[in-house]
Amino acid sequence: MWQVIGQDKILALLGHSLKEDNVAHAYLLVGPRHVGKRTLALNLAQALNCDDPEPPCGQCHSCHRILEGKHADVTSLGLDSKVEIGIDDIRQLQRLANLPPYEGKCKVFIIDEAEYLSTEAANSLLKILE
């Protein structure tokens, strides 16, 4: 059950991609604050790791752990009282990305407020995404 309101085109696109097993390796969610970017990212993480045939169910063990921030294969990266997201944060993300999934079907990395990536961190992230 998607928890994002007013983004029918995006939800239809993601739903189709999930059904066809044709999900991109990265998505960039852009918009003003409080429009649901993080909610959509968490819902997508749920859909990718959900135990239900019609993901995201929001009820299974994986879906609950993702919303609680306790799923081993879903990592959120953000400012956390720092001035910027630094190169060390991205290097840690890269180390985690090179490990196989532990608890779910795939790994998901959510970078909140990516506009605060340092130049070094942004360049390193681009290399990972290429």
Query: pLDDT digit string (tens) for 117-127?
Result: 999 999 999 98
Q: What is the pLDDT of residue 4?
A: 86
Cα 73 from Cα 63, distance rounded (Å) = 12
What b/e string do you get for 57-70 counting C-beta neighbours within 10 Å, with b at 16 or more? bbebebbebbbeee
Total number of domains constituting the chain: 1
Q: Which residues of the chain have pLDDT under 70?
A: none
Q: What is the pLDDT of residue 128?
A: 87
- Kindly list the distances between the CA atom of residue 44 and the CA atoms of 7, 29, 63, 64, in Å, as whole numbers in the listed order: 13, 12, 10, 13
Q: Is 121 inside any structural domain?
A: yes
CATH code, domain with 62? 3.40.50.300
Q: Is 1 inside any structural domain?
A: no
Q: What is the pLDDT of residue 80?
A: 81
Q: Is 3 inside any structural domain?
A: no
Q: Is 81 inside any structural domain?
A: yes
Q: Range of 21's domain? A: 8-129
Q: Is 27 inside any structural domain?
A: yes
